[in-house]
Amino acid sequence: MVYKHTGMDSVQPTGVINKNQILLADLVHVMGKSFLLSLTTSTIDPLDLLIVARVDDHKGSTLRGAIEDQIELLKSRGFEVVEVITDPQSSLIGIPE
């Protein structure tokens, strides 16, 4: 099977986006590999950004590190994550605050 990476141009927002965002996160499995998918949203003017990170295992420390990396990415762009919501049935639920 051949995979082709297609580049994507930077998209500039046309309106004002709320700087306070909520991070919705869950684990997904594709072809035997695990990924942390996170979507940023808010009640008013959501960013609606999907962030994907490959994770090598489901250890709490690995998942916590992946979430922290995503939060830092958002902070570096001027956004603040005010809440993180995960699927209560996934292995993310065991991550301490």
The tokens for 20 are 């306070």
Q: What angle do CA 34, 41, 97 make, to 5 degrees?
A: 60
Asked whether residue 10 is assigned to any structural domain, the reply reads no
Q: Which residue range(s) make up the domain with 71? A: 20-88
Q: pLDDT by residue (tens digit) across 19-42? A: 999 999 999 999 999 999 999 998
Q: pLDDT by residue (tens digit) across 3-13? A: 445 555 555 55
Q: Are 38 and 24 contacting, i.e. CB atoms less than 8 angstroms apart?
A: yes
Token pair 């979430």: residue: 67
Q: Is the pLDDT of residue 93 over 70?
A: no
Number of compact structural domains in the chain: 1
The pLDDT of residue 45: 83
Asked whether residue 14 is assigned to any structural domain, the reply reads no
Asked whether residue 97 is assigned to any structural domain, the reply reads no
Asked whether residue 15 is assigned to any structural domain, the reply reads no
The pLDDT of residue 78: 92
Asked whether residue 57 is assigned to any structural domain, the reply reads yes
Q: Is the pLDDT of residue 67 over 60?
A: yes
Asked whether residue 12 is assigned to any structural domain, the reply reads no
Give percent above pLDDT 90 in the chain: 54
